[in-house]
Structure 1
Amino acid sequence: MSTIPKPAPVIGARTIELAARRGLRQSRLMQIALISATWWTATGVVHLLALPVPAGIVGMAFALLLLATRRISLFALRRGAEWFVGEMMLFFVPAVVSVLDHPELIGRLGAELLLIVVLSTLAVMTVTALTVELFYHWRTRHVRP
């Protein structure tokens, strides 16, 4: 008596779509990737069509279109958008304000300051590494087990 193997279950497109939507709602990283992909797409469209509109506006229009056609829900973007807003305040705004207050930072003075910061950072790292290395060798020679 032989048994006939059961065929593997067929996974439909709807099942895959529902799983992707569920994963998108639960993953902040996927939401950040979707928002970034929307922005990159908008940037490409603006450059390709030579539109006189900022890519951010086109990206918001894409996002609105996705929301209006229910291809994506608001909850699928919420956590990623909250992360972007939180990080924008930390990194983007202070840097822009300081550059606006000191436009000379964009020119030669800014390049010189950047060079000084990079060289001094390398010097501190080198001296620290040498000090740790010397102390390690001194300790292995002078400390008895």
Structure 2
Amino acid sequence: MAVALRGFTPVLFRRIQVPVQVALYAGLFIFAQQLVDWWHLPLPANLVGMLLLLALIVCRVVPLKWVRAGSRWLLAEMLLFFVPAVVAVVNYAELLMVDGWRIFLVIAISTLLVLSTTALVVDKVYRYELARIARRQASGE
């Protein structure tokens, strides 16, 4: 019986892994929403939830592998979450005709700022990690 279950368990685990992780994200969001309501925080609940998840991962309460598959699935399907917003733009054709260039200019500038900031942060973290590895190797040798 144990031999038969050994082959079955990983398949079952892989099938329920993503839904369980997405449910964990949803539960964390609901908890973050309650915190925002109770403490009257001037932050959105999704940001508080991400900070909570980051704290749980950094403190090693939640291992990274427990949330990796769900986050990869959500990132892969992110386009589906934006389809309603893109379809809603059709209702505002007059606004786009008059102020469309301003809207697109703001979108372009903000996108460039986000990409530049992300690149700078990734570069700093990468350099920090390289320096940390070099320090470990120097102290270990």
TM-score normalised by length of structure 2: 0.50
Q: Which is greater in Rg?
A: 1
Structure ranking higher in helix proportion:
2
